[in-house]
């Protein structure tokens, strides 16, 4: 029995020695962990589709597409080696995410990870990658703290929450210049859990630095039966601009209360979440007109960037649905990683990490509204940004950055009694 084992071990060692290098020539094993079952399974499936499309485009050649990697099939610097995606399922659970990362690294021998959508899962799974010295590309998690951990193997392509709020103020500066106005009175109106309070802190800091007076600051419980006291206070402060972070129910209730009490600032700038839920436009109807909100991506960006249309057409043909902010970011994540591996010309984790650090992809080669991809020492892409969309004729259309806009911004928005 013992001999049999020895024989077996010898055989295994031999076959590894022979097969491994040969394998490395033709496939690059990349681990991908998303919520494929559980409550977020539908999102997980979208992300899986997007990353599979990205891998297929790379493996079969990027025929005429201006993507980060030009190839006729596989990675040119690795003799046309193909990408093989090995999937893991974290079910939305940070613990499972870490276990899956461990499994993919130790058993599946992946050379890099793309993961995880949820910020809390990204947090645990990336710790495993860091410990094992495996490059970890995170395309979608937006918690700012993820890149404040001093990790060496962590790279995030998406902008994080702080950057999105920073965009609000860049947007304000741009609007002031374009419309030749100045915003003098800002009211902050945010719900009082982590999402709203963090946003409030950043907004206060940035407004202070850029000398925008905050005339009213309100944190409210999202599960309110009425928002009358809050909105009366906002009305009394008569702001030019309301910056609001809300979930769905309170976003709807606040719109109704604005209308009831006739609160008409020049603009209402919302922070994604409830305002970008498809139910929001359905239920508030015409009353939602002119609301501004931030977004990570919008299909109408295709009017300015032909690449978005080309890639989305391929995606639609395959899956009968369009890209959205999540799937487009996941697609971009794998593209970034593949471009770095090709530049590294090697599948050694150290070489890939070094190449990722040196990444410099121009915005024109992305399906995102970003200026490009370039990581700072913390692993954060510094060239990413969000977009601002506005409800016009019942749809969200891109209005900022101005060079990506499909429609002109409407500012100030008409008062309630002057609307049709």
Partner 1 sequence: MNASFDILLQTLLSGVLIGLIYALVAVGLTMIFGVMDIVNFAHGEFLMLGMYASFWGFALWALDPMFTLPFTALMLFGLGSAIYHVVIRRIIRAPMLSQIFTTFGLLILFRGLAQFLWKPDFRTIDHSIVQGKVAFAGLQFGLPQLVAAAGAIVVTGIVWWFLQRTRLGAALEATAADKDAAALMGIDVQRMFALAWGIGAACAGVAGALLSTFFPIFPEVGANFILIAFVTVALGGFGSVAGAFWAGIIVGIVEVLGGFLLGPQYKLALVLALYLIVVLLRPQGLLGRA
The footprint of partner 1 (CB under 8 A) covers 192, 218-221, 223-230, 232-233, 235-237, 248-249, 252-253, 256, 259-262, 279, 283-285
State the maximum Cα–Cα separation within the chain, in Å, rounded to a whole number: 91
* Smallest gap from residue 98 Cβ to partner 1 (A): 29
Shortest distance in whole angstroms from residue 279 CB to partner 1: 5
CB of 272 to partner 1, least distance (A): 17
- Least Å distance between CB 416 and partner 1? 9
Looking at the Cβ atoms of 254 and 380, the one nearer to partner 1 is 254
Is 53 buried (19+), middle (13-18) or exposed (0-12) by CB count in 10 A? buried
Least separation in angstroms between residue 282's CB and partner 1 is 8
| Residues forming beta bridges with residue 396, ordered by sequence position | 391
Instruction: Name the residue among 158, 157, 143, 41 with its Cα closest to residue 92.
Output: 41
**Closer residue to partner 1 (CB): 208 or 221:** 221
Sequence-distant (6+) residues with CB within 8 A of 394 are: 281, 285, 286, 288, 289
Min dist. Cβ of residue 37 to partner 1 (A): 19
| Distance separating alpha carbons of residues 181 and 28, to the nearest angstrom | 54
Q: How far is residue 32 from each of residues 50, 51, 138, 229, measured CA to CA in Å?
A: 12, 9, 10, 48
Determine the number of helices (DSSP H) and then strands (DSSP E) in the chain: 12, 14
Nearer to partner 1, 228 or 364 (CB): 228
Q: Is 38 helix (H, G, I), strand (E, B) or coil?
A: coil
- Residue 230 or residue 300: which is nearer to partner 1 going by CB? 230
- Strands 112-115 and 27-34 turn out to be parallel
Q: What are phi and psi of 290, to 5 degrees?
A: 75, -5
Our CB check for partner 1 shows the closer of 206 and 261 to be: 261
Q: Is the peptide bond before 412 cis (omega within 30 degrees of 0)?
A: yes
Q: How far is the CB of 225 from partner 1 (least distance, A)?
A: 5
């Amino acid at each position: 029995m013992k001999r049999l084992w020895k024989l077996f071990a010898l055989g295994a060692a031999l076959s590894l020695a022979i097969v491994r290098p040969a394998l490395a020539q033709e496939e690059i094993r990349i681990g991908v962990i998303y919520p494929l079952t559980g409550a977020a399974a539908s999102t997980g499936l979208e992300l899986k589709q997007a990353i599979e499309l990205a891998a297929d485009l790379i493996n079969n050649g990027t025929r005429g597409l201006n993507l980060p990697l030009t190839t006729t099939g596989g990675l040119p610097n690795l003799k046309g080696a193909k990408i093989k995606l090995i999937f893991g399922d974290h079910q939305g659970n940070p613990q499972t995410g870490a276990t899956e990362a461990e499994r993919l690294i130790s058993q599946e021998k992946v050379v890099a990870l793309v993961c995880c959508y949820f910020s809390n899962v990204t947090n645990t799974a990336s710790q495993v990658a860091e410990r094992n010295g495996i490059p970890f590309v995170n395309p979608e998690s937006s918690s700012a703290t993820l890149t404040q951990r001093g990790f060496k193997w962590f790279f995030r392509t998406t902008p994080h929450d702080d950057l999105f709020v920073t965009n609000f103020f860049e947007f304000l500066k741009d609007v002031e210049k374009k419309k030749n106005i100045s915003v003098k009175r800002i009211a902050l109106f945010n719900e009082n859990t982590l999402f709203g309070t963090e946003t409030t802190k950043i907004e206060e800091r940035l407004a202070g630095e850029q000398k925008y007076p905050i005339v009213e600051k309100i944190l409210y419980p999202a599960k309110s039966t009425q928002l009358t006291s809050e909105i009366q206070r906002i009305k009394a402060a008569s702001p030019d601009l309301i910056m609001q972070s809300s979930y769905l129910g309170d976003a709807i209730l606040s719109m109704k209360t604005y209308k009831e009490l006739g609160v008409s600032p020049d603009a209402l700038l919302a922070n994604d979440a409830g305002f970008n839920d498809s139910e929001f436009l359905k239920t508030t109807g015409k009353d939602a007109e002119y609301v501004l909100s931030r977004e990570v991506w919008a299909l109408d960006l295709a009017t300015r960037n032909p690449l978005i249309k080309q890639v989305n057409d391929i995606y639609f043909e395959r899956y009968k649905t369009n890209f959205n902010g999540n799937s487009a970011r996941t697609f971009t994540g794998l593209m970034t990683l593949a471009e770095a591996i090709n530049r590294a010309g090697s599948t050694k984790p150290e070489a890939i990490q070094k190449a990722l650090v040196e990444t410099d992809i121009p915005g024109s080669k992305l399906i995102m509204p970003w200026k490009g991809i370039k990581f700072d020492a913390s692993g954060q892409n510094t060239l990413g940004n969000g977009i601002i969309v506005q409800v016009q004729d019942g749809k969200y259309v891109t209005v900022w950055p101005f060079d990506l806009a499909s429609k002109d911004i409407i500012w100030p928005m008409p008062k309630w009694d002057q609307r049709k």
